[in-house]
Chains A and B, each alone.
Chain A
Amino acid sequence: MMKRVLIGLGIFIAACSPDEVVVVDGDLTNIPYQPVDYVIPQPAGFPSMAQPSDNIATEAGVELGHFLFFDPILSRDSTQSCSSCHLPELGFTDGKKVSTGITGAQGFRSSMSLVNIGYVNSGLFWDGRSPHLEAQAFLPIEDPTEMDNTWAAVEESLRNHPTYPEMFRKAFGINDKSEITSDLATKALAQYERSLVSANSKYDEVLASGDFGVFSDEELDGYFMFFDIEGSGLPDAQCFHCHSGAYMSVNDFFNNGLEALGDLTNVTDIGLGDVTGVFTDRGKFRATTLRNIELTGPYMHDGRIETLEEVVDFYNDSIHPALNLDVNLFEGVDLNASQRASLVAFMKTLTDTSYLANPHFLSPFN
C-alpha cells in the first residue's frame, strides 16, 4: 500500500517537472527489515551496559555503524574517517599530542580511547560537553579542526551511495533513501561504539578468577599502591579515587594538579568549567579510563606527558596547588623509584590487544 502511494507520488512529481532529473527510485521497501538485537558482551567485573531505549543495538545497526566509523565518506574531502584519529592498534587513539583534522588544522585536545566506551554513563569528552554517544557522534563531522564537513553533505553522499541505503533500511526500517538522516547515522555510530567491548587483559584475568597470583610481584605491589590496600606495607598512591572499577575510571571530573592554577582566574583550557559555567569547575577534566593506557600516549587532555613513567613522576613530585585541586591529592604521593616502577608495571596489566584479532574492531574495507 505504502509502496503504491510512493510510486504514485513519484509519477506525479515526474509529470510536473519534465525537464528536471527527478529521483524517484528512493524506495527501499522491497528490502526486508527484520531487526535482530545485538548481544553486547558482559565481561566479568563490569556492570551490565544500559542502552538508550530509543537506540537499542541491532545486528544491522552495529554493522552499519562499523562501516560508517571506518569510512572517510564522512569528511569533506573523503580523506578522514573516525578511525583516522581513533586507531584500533592504539587503543582507538591516534598517538599524537593533539589531533589534526583534514585541513591540517590542529585541535587543542588529545584523542580519547574508545574500547569499552559504552560504560561511560556521564559526560563524554575531556570536558564532559557531550551527554551520550549519539550526541557526541554529531560533532566531529562539522568540526573545522576535524572532518570539516556539513551533515547536509554527508546525508546527500549516503543517500546516493550504492550500499548505504540498503544498510540503513536493514538497520532502521526506513522506507526511502530520503529518510537517511544525521540522526540515524549517529545512532548507528553509537551502536557500534557500544559494541566495542573487550576485557582480556591480565587485570581482567584477576577480576574474573580472583587469583592475584596472576600478577608478578612487581605488578601486585603496583596494585596494592594503586588501590591503597591496607597492610601491604607499601605507601598509598591514591589513584583509585579517580581511576577505579572494571572500566578503571570513576567517570567524573577533577583537577589533578597538572598546572598551578592558583585562584582559578587565569586558566588556559577551562575544561569542565566551560561546560557548566561553575567557577570552581575551571581546569577540571575527566579522569579517563586507564585501560590500554600503555597504548594511548601521549597523556592528559593536551598530550603534555609522553610516557607512563613521567605520569607517575608527575603525581609523585609535581602536583600543583590550586583552589580546586582535588583533596584526594592534597597529601601528595611519595613513592621511591622501585615503587614508581611497580605502579607503571600494574598499569601495563591493563593492556588488552586481543581485540586486534577480531575483525569487528578493524576496518571492514580491508
Chain B
Amino acid sequence: MNKIAVISMLSLIVGFTACSPDESVQTGEAQLNFKLEYGGNPLVVDAAYDYQSNSVRFSEFNFIYSNLKLLRADGSSVDLEEVGYLDFGDTNTEEAAVNGLNKSYVDLPIGSYTGISFTYGLDDSYLDKTPADFSTDNVLSNAGLYWVAWGNYIICKLEARFESNGDGLYDDASFQYHLGGDTAFRTVTIDREFDLITDGITSIDLVLDLRKILLIDNELIDPFEFNNTHTSDMEWLISDLLDNVQTEFVAE
C-alpha cells in the first residue's frame, strides 16, 4: 500500500472517531427472566408437587402482559414492549424451569433504575379488540386466547390435574382457571434498584410462586370444589387470583 493511501485511510478513521462522540446516545441491555416456582422450588411443568393431601401436576401456565416498562428514579420510564405473551407450557425440565423464559431488550438508556412495571393482562384499551384485529404473526390473533362467550381475551390460563386415589393417572380432579373479563388486568410494579451500563447485560429474575397465587384466605383452593372459572358466579375467583398475582411477583 502506498503512503498516500495509508494517510488517507488514517484520516478517514480519525474523521469517523471525531464524529462519533456527539452523535451516540449511550445505551445498554436488560434481560428479564420470568420464572415460575412452587413452594420456593422451580416449577417443572407436568412434574408432581404436594397439594394439600393430594399430588398436583401443572399442565399449563401462560399469560399476556402489556405496557412493560422500566422505571427510573426521576419518575420517568422506558417502554420495553406494548404486548407480550409468556407460555410456560414447555418448561418441562428442571433446567428449563431454572432458566425461565428470557426476554432481552437492547438500546436502553444507561443509568440508574428503580423498578419494573407491567399490566398483567391487557389494559382496557383492548376491551373491544378481537383476534380479527391482528395479523397471524401477532399473539393476539390466537383464537385459543380469546373467549367467544365473554367477548374478551383469556389473559391467563392456569391448568392442573390432581392425584388422590393412588393410580398415578392424575385424573381425580383438575382445574382450568382461565382468567378473563372486563376487569381482568392488574398493574404490577416491582421495586428493584439496578443500573444499565454500556458494556454488559443487566439480568433480572422476575419470580412468581404459583403456590402463593393459589392461596385464598391462607388455604390452597380446593380443586374438587372449584374446577373452573367459566361462569359468571366464579368472577370472584378470577379477581382473587389476579389480586394475588399483582402482589406476588418478586425481583431477584
Contact = CB atoms under 8 A, between A and B. Distances in A.
B169 A322 contact: yes
A229 B148 CA distance: 8
A44 B132 CA distance: 8
B174 A244 contact: no
Given A50-B135, A327-B160, A328-B176, A244 B146 contact: yes
A279 B44 CA distance: 13
Interface string A334-350: 00000000000000000
Looking at B138, B149, B168, B227, the one whose CB has the most chain A CB atoms below 10 A away is B149
- Chain B interface size band reads 35 or more
A321 B143 contact: no
Interface in A9-42: none
A279 B46 CA distance: 10
B132 A46 contact: yes
Interface string B33-67: 00000000000001000000000000110000000
B134 interface: yes
Interface of B: 46, 59-60, 90, 92, 131-138, 141-144, 146, 148-149, 159-161, 168-171, 173-176, 227, 230-232
25 contacts: A44-B132, A47-B132, A47-B134, A47-B136, A49-B136, A50-B137, A121-B141, A227-B148, A230-B149, A230-B231, A241-B144, A244-B144, A244-B148, A245-B142, A246-B132, A246-B143, A247-B143, A251-B142, A280-B59, A321-B171, A322-B171, A323-B168, A324-B46, A325-B171, A330-B171
Nearest to B159: A327
A164 interface: no
A247 B136 CA distance: 11
A8 interface: no
Given A50-B136, A246-B132, A323-B170, 7 more contacts: A47-B141, A230-B149, A241-B176, A250-B143, A280-B59, A324-B59, A328-B159
A121 B161 contact: no
Q: Which 6 A-B pairs give the minimum distances between C-beta atoms?
A: A245-B143, A250-B144, A47-B141, A50-B137, A327-B174, A330-B174
Interface of A: 44-50, 118-119, 121, 227-230, 236, 240-242, 244-247, 249-252, 262-263, 278-280, 321-325, 327-328, 330-331
Looking at A49, A229, A328, the one whose CB has the most chain B CB atoms below 10 A away is A328
Given A119-B136, A331-B227, A251 B175 contact: no
Nearest to A48: B135
Nearest to B168: A263
A226 B220 CA distance: 31
A230 B232 contact: yes
A240 B169 CA distance: 25
Contacts of A327: 59-60, 159-161, 174-176
A242 B136 CA distance: 17
B27 to A, nearest CB: 26
Contacts of B232: 230
A238 B109 CA distance: 48
Contacts of B174: 327, 330-331
A245 B146 contact: yes
A278 B90 CA distance: 9
A280 B90 CA distance: 10
